[in-house]
Amino acid sequence: MISLPVTYSLCLVLFFIGLYGIVTKKNAVKIIISIIIMENSVNLFLLLVGYRKDGIAPIMTEGMSVEKFVSGAVDPLTQAMVLTSIVIGLSVVALMVAIAIRIYERFNTFDVSEIKDLKG
Amino acid sequence: MIELFLILNIIAAIIALESKNLLSSIISLGGVGFGLAIIMLFLGAPDVAIVQILVEVVLLIILIRSTIDRDHTRIKCHKEFFSLVTGGAFLGVMLIFVILALQDLPQFGTAMAFGPDRIIPSLEYLSGSLSETGAPNVVTSVLLDYRGYDTLGEATVLFAAIIGALAILRKTKAEKKSKDEK
């Protein structure tokens, strides 16, 4: 029996929009935008997996017992990893944009199908 | 509530991909990123939401810088039938596998780490963070204490990528000469 949870499916739709963009778009900046969308959806998916219903943020407040905190907080590990991945994603995008700017200076276009010098 | 913002995100993503003007598509991308930050707040992840907002602002600046002084920011529309067909087939195959994989996931709202096959580190971090590291915020204690080497690696990747971007954008001597002659 096939069952699709709503939240995961919407996250999946976001991922597929990014994938569609990467496969079909010709403009270099559009491809970078698609990659960013995919990246966002993957980060969101990891957070969704670590979420617990009515969970509180994993920050201890004053007067909160450890037992109550452990039974109520959402998963801190996925959050820490997603934080790392977001920052790395930014640096990767900076690299991609640098390459795109170089391509524009060399060929005077963002269209990847018009870059013919690399073909043998 | 999360679903509502996700639908908004999806609409913004579609606009970002299908808009004919590059600048407006970049601004729509900002809609995706900031919507994501709001969803993160709903998911109980304020630290990640703050980082997401910060990164999104820097990202928009980088992307706008890449397009703002270019001549051809409007895109000529020519769709190729072949790439659409192969793309559609690729997406279809991917969709089948993803739906199969979704069947194995636990229900939304039952965190995987606290389910029947629980992952121990998350619970250890939650219960031991305050006494072991003295940090009430568990996410920062994981980042800077339990997994400090991971953060060091992240800083290394960041540094390498920025050096790479600078190396790509650097003007060589020949280029400077040809610019002077012009």
Q: How far apart are CA A20 and CA B84, in angstroms?
A: 9
pLDDT band at B160 (very low <50, low <70, confident <90, very high): very high
Q: ipTM score here?
A: 0.85
Min Cα distance B127 → chain A (Å) is 6
B61: Cβ contacts below 8 Å, ≥ 6 apart: none
Task: Judge: A48–B32 Cβ closer than 8 Å, yes or no.
Answer: no
Partner A contacted by B125 (CB < 8 A) = yes
Domains of chain A: 4-107 (1.10.287)
Residues 133-172 of B with CB under 8 A from A: 136-139, 142-143, 147, 150-151, 154, 157-158, 161-162, 164-166, 168-169
Cβ atoms within 10 Å, residue B4: 13
| Residue pLDDT, tens place only, B116-128 | 666 677 777 877 7
| Residue pLDDT, tens place only, A39-54 | 999 999 888 888 887 7
Q: Which residues of B108-136 are buried (b: 16+ CB within 10 A; e: fewer)?
A: beebbbbeeeebeebbebbeebbeebebb
| Residue pLDDT, tens place only, B148-159 | 898 899 999 999
Supply the pTM of this predicted model.
0.86
Is residue A77 within 8 A of residue B143, CB to CB? The reply is no
- Measured between CA atoms, the residue of chain B closest to residue A82 is B48
Q: Which residues of B157-178 are buried (b: 16+ CB within 10 A; e: fewer)?
A: ebeebeebbeeeeeeeeeeeee
Q: How far apart are CA A46 and CA B10, in angstroms?
A: 18
Which run of H or of E encompasses A48?
helix A28-49
